[in-house]
Homo-oligomer: A and B are copies of this chain.
Amino acid sequence: MNADLLQPLQRSLDGRWAAVRADVRDQMARFAPADPDWSREEYRERVLHLTRELARTGQPHRGFAAEYGGEGDVGGVVTAFQALGYGDLSLLVKAGVQWGLFGGAVQVLGTSRHHDRYLRRIMDGELLGCFAMTETGHGSDVQHLLTTATYDADTREFVIDTPEPGARKDYIGNAARDGEMAVVFAQLVTQGETHGVHAFLVPIRVDGKPAAGVEIGDCGHKAGLNGVDNGRLTFTGVRVPREALLNRFADVAEDGTYSSSIENEGRRFFTMLGTLVRGRISVAGGAGSAAQKALTLAIRYGERRRQFADPATGEETAILDYRVHQRKLLPLLATTYALTYAQDDMVAEMHRLQEPGAAPDEKAQRALEGRAAGVKAASTWHATHTIQTCREACGGAGYLSENHLPALKADTDVFTTFEGDNTVLLQLLAKNLVSDYGRSVSRLSKMELARFLGGQAVGAAAERTGLNRVRVKALDPRSRDAQRALIADRSEHLLAGVARRLRPALKKGADQFGIFNAAQDHLLAAARAHVDTVVFDAFVAGIERADPAVRELLGKVCDLHALSVIERDRAWYLEHGRLTASESRALTAAVNDLCAELRPHARLLVDAFGIPEPWLACPMLADPAVETSTEDPTPALVG
């Protein structure tokens, strides 16, 4: 029966861009995994070669505009990128830098003068470039970058400068070895005035040597991703023509007059940044693929690896049959499913907003940015935790590079802090939510407000008594509605609470930093809870779209995901009178039951990710040594 479910399950997971996934799977098999013994130089050379190979497959072209030889298939290109996460993650990141960040910035921040000149060469991997935003001193607070681009009206050039060591561009992919050009983010200064951060196209390397005035450093060895040449750029009076400004949102006339379609400097900057949302969505997807791969490895190993004999039968037990092992892996598998659907939803929404001819929708774009921030944080932390757990679940075998888990762990580790530090991203999401919440409350009619406050008051009473007086019936842990109510209620309650706490900061003379800082953990909890709701809803919607044959199984996976999320936060539910003590304990029992029920389907559930077998092959899953030890080998010793 299980085998019959594999196809419909994989179809459900593959979603709208199934054809793209199929394409990439075929192509992936051609890219052999990295050898961990390569020197840094060999590895970089190899990844450069693979990047050019990838250009030849045509996948990177998908995302670019049709008039330059692309397909305008924004969702497709991100889907293709994600699938690279099954393979060498250095290739994924190098490709992300080249086509997502560098190419993406040229496309969305530039205009036809940049597109005509560069896009084809970028797509074909002939012009390799960098995305030079982060500085040594400013990573999260990119609005306050220090690099300057000062317009010189006499020569009609911008002069790029690194005013101090902390303004050095740092961690820049493609910079140390291969990049010829960089999109450099710098404070635009003209006619003695600064207009905030803008992007400039700056040649950094000519015939393999640093361009005049550009000093290039190497970030050296990293925890992982050593196939990517991260470097440092320092600029001293580097002159680029006026046209080097990526001028979609702002321009400088020949005489130095500044103009922009967006008056407010902050808003302008965040509009520019917002167009780059694709990077975060891609990282979230790459993390998802890595988590899928780690779980596939660990679950297959957990079915093969046997340890300790069952006293009744004398047969050694597969480690995945132990409750603790199921507890370690299966809730993570369930959440990986949930995040897969959430990711697909987010990609589809991005596609809708960014596909050629899409009408601008500022509100939806802002919501997407918030969602991308939250899902990126959730997805990358989940991947880090999942891969770590899978490594441990494979014991010594999981520590050997030949079994893939070490590279998965090391390569994805930076995902939690690049393309936006997760903690900072969650705050960004939380601030969006709080201001939306403020607006929605202020729009309520008097009657609505009374009803709303009434609802809050019931909640508060429940909290004071520590008992739930809102629900009459005891919780049914497998009720989808009850799960939804608990998850969403927590999100709303946290948001209302944090909005209340932050309100005093609006008063004149208030200690804004103090108020904000005291509420910071509350703010983050609100953001995380919001993401929990988004992810849950996406999973539920995904099940409704799935083949009826697999809905029951997916339903159990969704139960396990939802209940382990609620279980994780059950202290909150207890503290706030949303769960009674016995309901809370019943929840834990339900998670255990679900682990046991899903155990027989574990292999099917990971196989449905459809990871190409060559990328999973490894001695711990192939060695007959492991197989043969599954028989009870020591009959002479028993008794």
Contact = CB atoms under 8 A, between A and B. Distances in A.
B414 A164 contact: no
Contacts of A321: 517
A528 B466 CA distance: 28
A449 B606 CA distance: 51
Nearest to A624: B165
5 contacts: A144-B309, A166-B629, A221-B400, A311-B512, A399-B413
Interface in A492-547: 511-513, 517-518, 520-521, 524
A410 B625 CA distance: 27
Contacts of A416: 392
Contact of A466 (B139, B312, B466, B524): B466
Contact of A410 (B144, B410, B512, B626): B410
A431 to B, nearest CB: 12
A370 to B, nearest CB: 19
The size bracket of the interface on A is 35 or more
Copies in the complex: 2
Contact of A417 (B171, B224, B392, B633): B392
Contacts of A171: 396, 399
Interface stretch (A53-61, A151-159, A473-481, A578-586): A578-586
Contacts of A418: 396
A257 interface: no
Given A220-B401, A399-B222, A637-B187, A136 B625 contact: yes
Interface in A307-347: 307-312, 316-317, 321-324, 327
A307 B194 contact: no
A144 B633 contact: yes
A324 to B, nearest CB: 5
Interface of A: 36-37, 39-40, 134, 136-141, 144, 146, 163-168, 170-171, 187, 194, 196, 219-224, 265, 307-312, 316-317, 321-324, 327, 384, 388, 391-392, 395-396, 398-402, 405-406, 409-410, 413-414, 416-418, 421-423, 463-464, 466-467, 511-513, 517-518, 520-521, 524, 570-571, 574-577, 580-582, 584-585, 592, 623-629, 633-634, 636-637
Contacts of A137: 625-626, 628-629, 633
A400 B219 contact: yes
Given A581-B575, A625-B165, A626-B166, A323 B409 contact: no
A134 B307 CA distance: 13
Nearest to A567: B571
A511 B410 contact: no
Contacts of A581: 463, 466, 574-577
B223 A401 contact: yes
A391 B409 CA distance: 13
Given A399-B417, A576-B581, A625-B168, A223 B466 contact: no
Given A140-B308, A592-B521, A401 B222 contact: yes
Contacts of A168: 625
Contacts of A391: 223, 413
Nearest to A317: B513
A582 B463 CA distance: 8
B223 A637 contact: no
B520 A136 contact: no
A372 B283 CA distance: 41
A636 B187 CA distance: 11
Closest 7 CB pairs of A and B: A137-B629, A166-B629, A223-B406, A165-B625, A466-B581, A36-B221, A571-B571
B136 A194 contact: no
Among A39, A166, A312, residue most surrounded by chain B Cβ atoms (within 10 Å): A166
Nearest to A328: B423
Contact of A221 (B37, B141, B392): B37
A388 B384 contact: yes
B323 A170 contact: no
A171 B323 CA distance: 27
A625 B584 CA distance: 51
